[in-house]
Amino acid sequence: MPNGSSSPLSIPRLVLAPTFFALRGHWGTHYDYLPGPSKLDFWPRFLWFGFFEELIYWVSFTVAVGALSGSVAAAIAKRRAPKAQPAT
């Protein structure tokens, strides 16, 4: 990677830190809120709702949606490109 660029996983890692502390300290924020009754202990909750969700689900979702959006944009750009006319 060029100097000054960050890792693609830097943002999810920044989310993991507050999630870890919020789950550990029962802060009552959106980082530790789980819908429905949750009877999981700390580590299973952190792994399922912090680690796997941030580092696997969201990264995969971003790559898939980005690839789909890029494909659609490339197809539109290709259709709009003017056709080359032979020189006379």
Q: What is the pLDDT of residues 32-68, one digit of tens each?
A: 777 666 778 888 888 888 888 888 888 889 999 999 9
* Residues whose CB is less than 8 angstroms from the CB of residue 26 and which lie 6 or more positions away in sequence, other chains included: 32
Assess whether pLDDT exceeds 50 at residue 20.
yes
Residue 28: pLDDT band by 50, 70, 90 thresholds? Answer: confident
3-state secondary structure of 16: helix
79's tokens: 């259709």
Average pLDDT of the chain, as a whole number: 81
State which H helix or E strand residue 43 sits in.
helix 42-46
